[in-house]
Structures are given as structure tokens and as C-alpha cells.
Structure 1
């Protein structure tokens, strides 16, 4: 099964998610710079979520570029990922409007955690489709970032009830860790195009 429709559908959904998030930003009625101060938590929440959605879009693109085909199971795994990403606008707005209170910040972390789990499921599904010679499997290697991220999300969720600021710091740290596109996958793509055997790194 070709992967073109999956990529196009995913791109469209992610674009809508970003659009919904930016529409949640309410324009102040006052023209003074000071009128932006009450909106600062909302703006910071939006920036963090925009970065996260961008990271998922970027790595999703690289992941699909490294696989050769998809299946019905992969389509459902992809929809599972998109479901959790589609909750970003809601949890982002809830957290920002309530100035990073414990419950909204925990809910935000929960969505981050489930999106990470969904991405891992999709990744494993695509690796399984290509079998032992999977380019994606060789490129992913030990996947230390993929293993560390859920642990940091879980720690962030647990810490929201005594230090929400620490939870935000953890969420932002994971985003920084993933900001650079996955060079392991970028390294194997030229080999795929040239028909060479890929070289995987940890």
C-alpha cells in the first residue's frame, strides 16, 4: 500500500491543529504593551505546543521517508497518533488560560505522554512491515530519546501537583532535545535513493 495518502492526510490534520491553536489567541482590546502581560501564559503555552507539533510533523515526515510502504494497521496507528495531537489545542488553551495550574498542566503532560506512545507504536508498526532489512529500524537504533521522553513526561505529570513550573521545564527540555531533525534517518535517506545498503547508528 502506498504511503502518499497517509502523508497528505497527516499534513492536513497537523496544519488544522496549528490553525486551531492560533485561533485560541485572543487579541487584547487595549493598544498598550501592558495589555499583553495577562496573555503571557497563553502565548507561552502556544509557543511550546507549536514547537511540539512542528517536531512531530518533522519527524513524522522523516519516518515515512525511511519506510517503503504502509498497511491498514499502520493507517490506524497513524490515526491514533493524530488523535492525541488533535488534543493539543484543547490542553494548550486550558493550561494557558489557567496560568499553568496543576490539573491543566498535568493534562497537558498526559497528552504529550500519549502522543509519544502513539508515535512509538506507529514507528514499530512501520519497522515490522519492512522486516529484518528495515531501513527505519537501522536508523532508529537504540532510540534513547524515544525511551527517555516518556519518563520525563511522567515525571513532569507527577511534579505538577507540587511544582508546576518544574513540569513545564521538563516539557520544554524534551522539546529542545527533539528540536534537531533526526539525523540518523537523514543519514540513511541518500542510501535509500541510491539503492545502497543503509548504515544505522545508535
Structure 2
């Protein structure tokens, strides 16, 4: 089956996720700068989550540029990824509203870890659909970025109970790793 509907649906879900996150930013009832101070943690968690959603959208787009078709396994794997990404507004709000307390930061990492695993599964389902010799299979290769991300999330989650700021730093590090678009797929498609 064609891939157009899965791409359009995924784009729509990701747009709704970003919309939900921005709607969680509460407008202060005062005009002074001091009224913005309590919103700083909420805004910072929003920025990090916006970057993560942007990273997933960008990489999702690249994945689907490298495939010609999808099957039922890909549809379910994609829904699995979208499920975890749909929880990001909740953990973003919980983390920001509670000023980066340990439990919300750990849950934030848990959602990021689950989304990373779901993305890995989606990649595997796409490769199985396209074939082991496909451009996507060659481009994904050993996927060191994905493996490092999972390890850093696995470290950051329990670390949140010792120092939530160090956990957040690890989440930022993973985002930085992925912020530079993954050129493997583009290289595989042009060669």
C-alpha cells in the first residue's frame, strides 16, 4: 500500500501535539517581568519538548522519503510511536509545573525512552517491508545515534532521583545529537 496517508496522518498528529503543548503555556494576569518568572520552568520544558517533536518530525519525514510502500506492521509501528509522542504534552506540563522535580523528570525520560524504542521498531518494520538491501537499510546501518540515545535515557531516568538537573542535561545532550539532521538517508538516496 502507498505511504501518503501514513505521512499525512503522522504530520497531523505531530501538529496537534505541538498545539496542545503551546496551549498549556498559561498567560500571566500581570504585565510585569516578575509575572513571567514562575513560567520559566514551564517555558523551558516546552522548548525542550518542541525540539524533540521537531526532531521526530524531521527524522520521520526522512524515513518515509526512503521507502516506497508500507504494510500493516508499519502502520501499527507508526501508531505505537505516535502514542508515545502524544504523551509528551502531559510529561512536559507535569515537569514544568513542578519545577523539574524528580518524579516528573523521570517520567519525562520514560516517555522519551519509549518513543526512542518505538522509533527503532518503526525503522525495523520499514526495513522489513523494503528489504535488507534497500536504501533505508543501508542508511540506518548500525544506528549509533539511536543506541546512544537509549543508553543516555536509561541512565537519566534513575539519575533523576539523585539530581533531576543532570537528567535534564542528558535529555538535552540526546536532543543535540539528533538536532543535526541525520544525513545517512539523504546520502543513501542520492548514491
Which interval holds the TM-score relative to the shorter structure?
A: over 0.9
Is residue 137 of structure 2 the alignment partner of residue 137 of structure 1?
Answer: yes
* 1:133 aligned counterpart, secondary structure: coil
TM-score by length of 2: 0.98
The alignment's C-alpha RMSD in Å is: 0.7
Report the counterpart of residue 187 of structure 2 in structure 1: 187
2:105 alignment partner in structure 1: 105
Once residues 144 and 104 of structure 1 are traced to their aligned partners in structure 2, the CA distance between those partners, rounded to angstroms, is 28
Distance 2:186 2:44 in 1: 30
Please give the secondary structure, in 2, of the residue aligned with 1:95: helix
The structural deviation recorded for 1:180 is 1.1
**Separation in 1, partners of 2:142, 2:72:** 27
Segment drifting more, 47-56 vs 179-188: 179-188
TM-score by length of structure 1 reads 0.93
Q: What is the 5 A alignment of 1:2-81?
A: 2-81=2-81
Aligned residues: 191
Q: Which runs of 5+ in 2 are unaligned?
A: none
Gap regions ≥5 residues in structure 1:
191-197
Which consecutive segments of 4 or more residues in structure 1 shift more than 2 A? none
Measured in 2, the distance between the counterparts of 1:53 and 1:189 equals 24
Separation of aligned partners in 1, 2:131 and 2:148: 25
- SS of structure 2 residue aligned to 1:132: coil
**CA deviation after TM superposition for structure 1 residue 20, in Å:** 0.1
Query: What aligned pairs does 1:116-131 form with structure 2 within 5 A after superposition?
Result: 116-131=116-131
Deviations 1:101-139 (A, max 9, x none): 011000000000000000000000000111132111101
